[in-house]
Structure 1
Amino acid sequence: MQTYQGKIYDADTHFYEVEDAFSRYLPEKFKKDWGFTSRVTPEGNRCMYVGDRKVEISEGYTSAEGLVPPPGKLHEWLRAMKDGKDNVEMRVQPTPDMFNRDARLKKMDEFGVEACTMYVGEMVACISYLSEPVAANAVLHAYNRWMLDDWGFSYKERIYSTPIVTLDDLDSAVAEAKWLVANGVRVILMPMGPFGGRAPADPYFDPYWAILNEAGVRVTFHVSEAIYMKDHMAVWGEPVQQSRQRQTAFVWMHGYGERPVVETLSSFIFYNFFERFPNVKLCSAENGAEWVPSMLVKMDKCRGMSKNGYWPCGQLKSRPSQIFKENVFVVAYPEDDLAQIVAQTGSADYLLMGSDYPHAEGVPEPKDFAREACEPLSAVDTQKIMYDNGRRFIPARA
């Protein structure tokens, strides 16, 4: 089995928020209806609330005592449960590196990780509840200020945290982008899907993208509830914003599956986004990678079908598949068949590894990704996925 000894860029890691992460900078007038709080339900489960609205999917992730799922142990836990070991403990005490950037650097040194993309914690479950633009921008700016305090946006050129921006209000997005760039941001997290009936690459939003393009800021789309799908789910009689226990396979497949990320990324390409903003690169995180081959084939086919049709931002100069490979990066799951994906697309240059640390769903240590996912690949392609592509996505600065 392949034992990877090279450098590592971990493209999917997370922190956990401290108690005042959501309230430290939130203006008082928003706290009652839009403040984020963690409460213990009458059933004894810890759950996030936005105002008085319960974030159903967050219930039970952490215990009432603040214990968290053990990093990288989900498969081990599932195997134990399958074998009838009903006394398996799926909660552990959180460690300092889950909350503190200097402690995280030590953990990264232990893991052999040079640098990482750092995603949000409980916030990822709450974004879809921010349905009112003025309040949403106030909440997100307050959260981003906390993130700057505790993690920085480019800490020692090793931890690249991902402040959140929404395009629900263009003026607010422009102001936030300017503030983030002034504070050294390298990568931004955005919700998947359209904003106010417009694609994110619609020229209406160009003032926002021009700021990111000038600074070479990257943009990521991490798995979360794609709330723009709620009306479509309703047509099928499928409610959204449900707990994990009540969420159907249909919603997992379409609401949390490939559809939101495929629609979002293909929209950028068909809107000729990279012709206007070549310095902005996009990344999909924790959406897997098995959808990529079919997406590339379908985009190329649809470009041909609509060659003489309407192109809102001008006809593409290259095949959509080539534009994708040059401008989009994808964090694969360790269980993805990477050999098949590389063979079907003809390239490993857009693929990234991600440990999902400290979440349970990932691998115990980042190097384990090479063992689980890259075994059939060449040493060259393994090096690309484990390190080189990550450093192309966010190049190190002196």
Structure 2
Amino acid sequence: MSDAPVLIDTDVHNHIGSLTPYLPKAWHDRYRDVGLPYGAQYYSSIGTHRKDANPDRGGPPGSDPQFLISDHMDRYGVDYAILTGSGVLGLSLDPDPDYGNVLAAACNDRMVDTWLSVSPRFKGSIFVNASDPVAAAAEIRRHAANPDMVQVLMASAARMPYGQRFYHPIYDAAQECGLPVAVHPGTEGKGISGPPTPSGYPTRYMEWHNILPTNYMTHVNSLVCEGVFEKFPKLKFVAIEGGISWLPHLMWRMDKNYKALRESVPWLKRFPSEYIVDHIRLTTQPIEEPNMPEQFVQILHMISAEKTVMFSSDYPHWDNDNPRMTLPRMPKEMKKRILAGTAAELYGLHTKPARMNSTSTELAEKIAVESLNSPDHVWGEEE
């Protein structure tokens, strides 16, 4: 039995809880009156969370660490869960950067105390206020020595594309500390960010939700064209919950235009698609599901998915994915990389958690073997 992880979930939403004990007293009144800024803007008739994910002991979904372990991680054999919080990323979009900074610090301190201390299977994200990059860099360095904090996380909604030099202090700190930088959707069109589409505001939640990948295209395009990966050659950037099938189109278009317009980006030394494969990572949820699975596998090959794609469930949201069912038929080695291999390299999680119980370990191995050997999951087998 290999000691390497077989399933790493790169997007698990834990409810952070009250921040009052972690905030300076001067901010208590504002937090009591306002809380975390910019909640839901578009109404969803089905809500945000699954109805069956409420902890047995009460509280909202994702609020009980032990229930999350049993309901999700043990059930599906997840070795590690990368925690991404819930409803907190709006802190980057408050007009008052000082309020965003203290909220980020409080979220991180509470994450360490109430989640990372519970189980070595939980790995945390360092929340930062991207609207104040200098303060964000300091927050990264404050937590970087904690081996259970494995990435930097900020809202995908922003005042300007993430390649611009305004944000470079964040990338400098992340590269220095050996941490990837991740973005997550949900706040597009809120606070001090721009409209969620180039043409303005959609009318309804479904329209807004459908078009979120356009923001990810903007940031990837900006990061490459602004030369971020030349300036920070060890930096990795994770696009969580943004889809996958848009990336081949963007890579092709960027490479085509680079051939004619490279004078406008003289700092680039390679084709844009090469920077993307080396530095950009995507997560599977929400994964595209065409009627012919082999079509999606072709897309995975186009983006070198064995290097760029990582499994995520988005637990406990309404559209979360079951790891036993979500991935289409694909070559075994590619699936192994998506389920755990790429994430293990990115986050430095090369062995199973020391305290993972034997039942969970056996289940994880069983699920992995079943998934990889099932006739329904080996289209285009390449040994």
Q: Name the TM-score class by shorter chain.
A: 0.7 to 0.9
Match of 1:373 in 2: 327
Indicate the SS of the match to 1:150: helix
CA gap of 1:135–1:113, structure 2 versus 1, over 3 A, is same
2:129 alignment partner AA: T
Match of 1:46 in 2: none
- In terms of mean alpha carbon deviation, does 158-167 or 214-223 score higher? 158-167
Is contact 1:233–1:251 with CA below 8 Å preserved after alignment?
yes
Cα distance in 2 for partners of 1:348, 1:395 equals 17
Cα distance in 2 for partners of 1:298, 1:212 equals 29
1:210-289 aligned within 5 A:
210-227=172-189, 231-232=194-195, 236=199, 238=201, 247=204, 249-254=206-211, 257-289=212-244
- The alpha carbon displacement at 1:329 in A equals 0.8
Indicate the SS of the match to 2:186: coil
Match of 1:76 in 2: none
Cα distance in 2 for partners of 1:61, 1:278 equals 43
Cα distance in 1 for partners of 2:124, 2:179 equals 12
Match of 1:353 in 2: 311
Is contact 1:284–1:331 with CA below 8 Å preserved after alignment?
yes
Indicate the SS of the match to 1:330: strand
Is 1:117 the counterpart of 2:72? The answer is no
Match of 1:28 in 2: 25
Instruction: Give a deviation string over 1:1-55, Cα, whole Å, max 9, x none.
Output: xxxxx8111122111233x2x3221233333344477xxxxxxxxxxx657x764
Q: 1:362 aligns with which of 320, 331, 348?
A: 320
Cα distance in 1 for partners of 2:229, 2:67 equals 38
1:116 alignment partner AA: A
Q: 1:141 aligns with which of 105, 113, 127?
A: 105
Is 1:385 the counterpart of 2:323? The answer is no
Cα distance in 1 for partners of 2:288, 2:305 equals 18
Cα distance in 1 for partners of 2:301, 2:104 equals 41
Cα distance in 1 for partners of 2:125, 2:258 equals 33
Q: 1:183 aligns with which of 143, 146, 150?
A: 146
1:293 alignment partner AA: P
Match of 1:320 in 2: 272
CA gap of 1:354–1:305, structure 2 versus 1, over 3 A, is same
Indicate the SS of the match to 2:249: helix
Indicate the SS of the match to 2:334: helix
Indicate the SS of the match to 1:318: coil
Q: 1:150 aligns with which of 111, 114, 120?
A: 114
- The alpha carbon displacement at 1:206 in A equals 3.6
Q: CA RMSD in A?
A: 3.3
Instruction: Give a deviation string over 1:195-250, Cα, whole Å, max 9, x none.
Output: 5x5x43334544432221122101111122223796546985637xxxxxx62554
1:325-340 aligned within 5 A:
325-332=277-284, 333-337=286-290, 338-340=296-298
Cα distance in 1 for partners of 2:273, 2:336 equals 23
Is contact 2:238–2:282 with CA below 8 Å preserved after alignment?
yes
- The alpha carbon displacement at 1:58 in A equals 7.7
1:112 alignment partner AA: G
What TM-score results when the alignment is normalised by the length of structure 2? 0.75
- In terms of mean alpha carbon deviation, does 182-191 or 258-267 score higher? 182-191
Q: Percent identity?
A: 19
Cα distance in 2 for partners of 1:122, 1:193 equals 13
Match of 1:41 in 2: none
Is contact 1:14–1:119 with CA below 8 Å preserved after alignment?
yes
Is contact 1:119–1:161 with CA below 8 Å preserved after alignment?
yes
Match of 1:301 in 2: 256
Is 1:94 the counterpart of 2:47? The answer is no
- In terms of mean alpha carbon deviation, does 144-153 or 262-271 score higher? 144-153
- The alpha carbon displacement at 1:350 in A equals 0.8
Is 1:164 the counterpart of 2:117? The answer is no
Cα distance in 2 for partners of 1:301, 1:153 equals 49
Unaligned runs of 5+ in 2: 291-295, 352-383
1:168 alignment partner AA: S
CA gap of 1:234–1:192, structure 2 versus 1, over 3 A, is closer
Cα distance in 1 for partners of 2:146, 2:13 equals 20
Is contact 1:193–1:226 with CA below 8 Å preserved after alignment?
yes
Is contact 1:352–1:389 with CA below 8 Å preserved after alignment?
yes
- The alpha carbon displacement at 1:263 in A equals 0.6
Cα distance in 1 for partners of 2:13, 2:115 equals 11
CA gap of 1:397–1:343, structure 2 versus 1, over 3 A, is closer
1:16 alignment partner AA: H
Is contact 1:272–1:315 with CA below 8 Å preserved after alignment?
yes
- The alpha carbon displacement at 1:342 in A equals 1.8
Is contact 2:133–2:168 with CA below 8 Å preserved after alignment?
no
Match of 1:292 in 2: 247
2:143 alignment partner AA: L
Cα distance in 2 for partners of 1:138, 1:319 equals 40
CA gap of 1:11–1:372, structure 2 versus 1, over 3 A, is same
Unaligned runs of 5+ in 1: 1-5, 38-48, 63-67, 71-89, 240-245
Is contact 1:201–1:268 with CA below 8 Å preserved after alignment?
yes
What TM-score results when the alignment is normalised by the length of structure 1? 0.73
1:214 alignment partner AA: E
Cα distance in 2 for partners of 1:230, 1:210 equals 23
Indicate the SS of the match to 2:155: coil
